[in-house]
């Protein structure tokens, strides 16, 4: 059996350019999200965009249902740290206004704009400026609503086999939409086909990837709050990405979109599709062996160390002497605790024994020192690479009665 094998190669796609971000081709998988406030409230919108960019978003989408929103883009776009995508639904004028304001990409559903001449005007304007268009065929708006006969036929197909019928309708509508773009010799297109059902998402994008070479924007729509939405999203997106499908992602939650960015980053890092630029935190779960307030310590570490240290060191926070030694052995910086105190290790070398009230400050200090050594070339991250420190299993903490556990492996 082959272990730690690489993921299948990503499917070959066209590449589009969104501001300074490449999507598709050999570009890294891009992380997207969307603001939750009103675009016309310029100061608040820019503050949210900046927060999302700091969290790791490569692109940010904003809603432009009204002209005051597209007018706000004239101030937002030149002050945004990342490319801006305009979300357009029913009014083609909003797309033209957003393009004129300098937006970097348009999200368009041609099915919501019945007059094909208007769609062609948007395509022509994007073609002139080199602006890509994302075409969505999402479950919530894919079934025909105006033509009663066509709607009845599609509903009958869904009643027979909902998933298969929905995917076929998605493919048919995408064919219809893409013929419009191809007739205009416009190929800077990104495709999405979302559903709340992760199984449909997996099958739909798999079918689309076999039919088209356009880059794909992955997502699960209406995923819900983070508590349940992250399960739906990671199941679908992780499966597709692990099979080489997907060029840009948005994890969608009914919550602060910063969580979308954080979880998207972690997903891509876990799959090796994007490099880490911050610590990888591991921590043990709760059990009856814990003798310190581990939950508070982990939360404090996320709030301080994860925000300050900007190298991908592996950081282990362990709450007992059972799993602590082994986890500390494989981490760059680690602490394992028991009976109100903890021992801190740096790449297997014991550095300090501290009381519970000093754990966070001492751990932060050792992380800072180690980060400085890495920056100076005096140490290397473990992360599968050779370290300049000999790794030795750390000594276990004594039991409450003062006796020592057997050595690791003893």
DSSP line for 221-248: TT--SHHHHHHHHHHHHHHHHHTT--SE
Residues 6+ apart with CB under 8 A from 130: 17, 188
Query: Cα(191)–Cα(198) distance, rounded to whole angstroms?
Result: 17
Q: Residue 241, CB half-sphere, CA atoms under 13 Å: how many?
A: 28
Position 292 scores a pLDDT of 78
DSSP 91-106: -HHHHHHHHHHT-SEE
Same domain? For 195 and 297 the reply is no
What are 36's two structure tokens? Answer: 């939750």
Contact 394, 325 (CB under 8 A): yes
CB 40 within 8 A of CB 53: no
As given in the structure block, the two tokens for residue 118 are 């208007």
In this structure, the answer to whether residues 93 and 149 fall within a common structural domain is yes
Inside any domain, residue 114: yes
| Residue 408 domain-assigned (yes or no) | no
Q: What is the DSSP string of 261-306?
A: HHHHHHHHHHTTSS---S-EEEE----TT--S-HHHHHHHHHHTHH
Of 244, 270, 296, the position where a domain reaches its end is 270
154, 153, 119: which is closest to 139 by C-alpha?
154
My answer on whether 294 and 234 are in the same domain is no
In a shared domain, residues 111 and 169 = yes
pLDDT below 70 — which residues of the chain? 1-5, 111-112, 288, 321-328, 383-410
The pLDDT of residue 402: 53
Looking at the structure of the chain, the number of domains it has is 2
In a domain, 209, yes or no: yes
Out of 220, 247, 270, pick the residue that ends a domain: 270
CATH code (residue 317): 3.30.413.10
Q: How far apart are CA 228 and CA 215, in angstroms?
A: 28
Edge-first strand order for the sheet with 105-108 is 189-192, 133-136, 105-108, 84-87, 59-63, 30-34, 248-249, 217-218
Pair 66, 158 in one domain? yes
- Residue 327, in any domain of the structure: yes
Q: CA torsion 311→316→317→318, rounded to 10°? A: 180
Q: In this structure, is residue 366 part of a structural domain?
A: yes
Residue pLDDT, tens place only, 5-18 = 677 888 999 999 99
**Same domain, residue pair 137 and 249:** yes
Residue with tokens 């002497």: 321
What range defines the domain where residue 218 resides? 15-270
Instruction: Please give the C-alpha separations between residue 171 and each of 139, 143, 207, 216, 267, in angstroms, as whole numbers.
Output: 12, 12, 8, 14, 27
262 and 300 part of one domain: no
317 and 261 share a domain? no
Residue 84 token pair: 């801006």
Q: Which CATH number does the domain housing residue 197 bear?
A: 3.20.20.20
Q: What is the pLDDT of residues 64-76, one digit of tens each?
A: 999 999 999 999 9
Beta strand segments in 92-168, E: 105-108, 133-136
Q: According to the model, what pLDDT value does residue 5 have?
A: 66
Q: What sections of 161-197 are H helices per DSSP?
A: 162-183
Q: Quick one: 245 and 103 in the same domain?
A: yes
Name residues whose C-beta falls within 8 Å of residue 122's C-beta, 6 or more positions apart in sequence: 88, 92, 95, 96, 99, 106, 108, 133
In a domain, 387, yes or no: no
Q: Are 254 and 221 in contact (CB under 8 A)?
A: no
Residues 298, 234, single domain; the answer is no
- How far CA 91 is from CA of 111, 138, 336, in Å, comes to 12, 18, 58
First to last CA, the chain: 29
Same domain, 93 and 186: yes
* Contact between 289 and 320 (Cβ < 8 Å): yes
In a domain, residue 6? The reply is no
Q: How far apart are CA 179 and CA 382, in angstroms?
A: 51
- Residue 383 covered by a domain: no
Domain termination residue (choose one: 247, 270, 293) = 270
Whether 235 and 322 share a structural domain: no
Q: Could you tell me which of 291, 379, 296, 305 has the C-alpha nearest to residue 341?
A: 291
Backbone angles phi, psi at 179, to 5 degrees: -60, -35
**HSE, side-chain direction, 13 A CA sphere, residue 263:** 26
Q: What per-residue confidence (pLDDT) applies to 287?
A: 73
Cα separation, 268 vs 24, whole angstroms: 15
| DSSP state letter for 29 | P
Q: How far apart are CA 373 and CA 351, in angstroms?
A: 15
């Amino acid at each position: 059996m082959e272990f730690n094998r690489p993921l299948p190669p990503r499917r070959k796609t066209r590449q589009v350019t969104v501001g300074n971000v490449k999507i598709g081709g050999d570009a890294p998988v891009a992380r997207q999200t969307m603001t939750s406030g009103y675009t016309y409230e310029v100061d608040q919108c820019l503050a949210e965009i900046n927060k999302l960019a700091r969290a790791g978003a490569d692109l940010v989408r904003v809603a432009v249902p009204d002209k005051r929103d597209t007018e706000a883009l004239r101030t937002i776009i030149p002050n945004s740290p990342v490319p801006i995508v305009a979300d357009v639904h029913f009014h083609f004028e909003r797309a033209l206004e957003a393009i004129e304001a300098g937006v970097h990409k348009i999200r368009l559903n041609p099915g919501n704009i019945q007059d094909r001449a208007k769609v062609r005007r948007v395509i022509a304007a994007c073609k002139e400026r080199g602006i890509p268009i994302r075409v969505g065929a999402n479950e919530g708006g894919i079934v025909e609503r105006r033509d009663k006969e066509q709607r009845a036929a599609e509903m009958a197909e869904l009643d027979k086999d909902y998933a298969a019928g929905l995917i076929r309708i998605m493919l048919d509508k995408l064919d219809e939409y893409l013929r419009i773009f191809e007739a205009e010799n416009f190929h800077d297109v990104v495709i999405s086909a979302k559903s709340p059902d992760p199984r449909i998402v997996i099958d739909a994008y798999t079918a689309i990837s076999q039919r088209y070479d356009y880059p794909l924007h992955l997502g699960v729509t209406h995923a819900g709050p983070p508590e349940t939405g992250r399960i739906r999203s990671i199941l679908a997106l992780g499966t597709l990405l692990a099979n080489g499908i997907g060029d840009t992602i948005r994890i969608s939650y009914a919550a602060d979109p910063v969580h979308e960015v954080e979880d998207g980053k972690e997903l891509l890092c876990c799959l090796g599709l994007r490099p880490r630029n911050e610590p990888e935190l591991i921590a043990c779960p709760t059990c009856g062996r814990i003798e310190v307030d581990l939950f508070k310590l982990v939360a404090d570490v996320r709030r301080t160390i994860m925000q300050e240290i900007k190298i991908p060191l592996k950081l282990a926070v362990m709450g007992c002497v059972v799993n602590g030694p082994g986890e500390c052995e494989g981490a760059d910086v680690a602490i394992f605790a028991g009976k109100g105190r903890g021992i801190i290790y740096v790449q297997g070398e014991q550095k300090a024994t501290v009381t519970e009230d000093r754990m966070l400050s001492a751990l932060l200090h050792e992380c800072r020192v180690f980060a400085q050594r890495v920056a100076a070339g005096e140490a290397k991250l473990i992360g599968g690479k050779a370290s300049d420190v000999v790794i030795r299993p750390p000594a276990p903490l004594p039991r409450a009665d003062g006796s020592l556990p057997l050595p690791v492996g003893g």
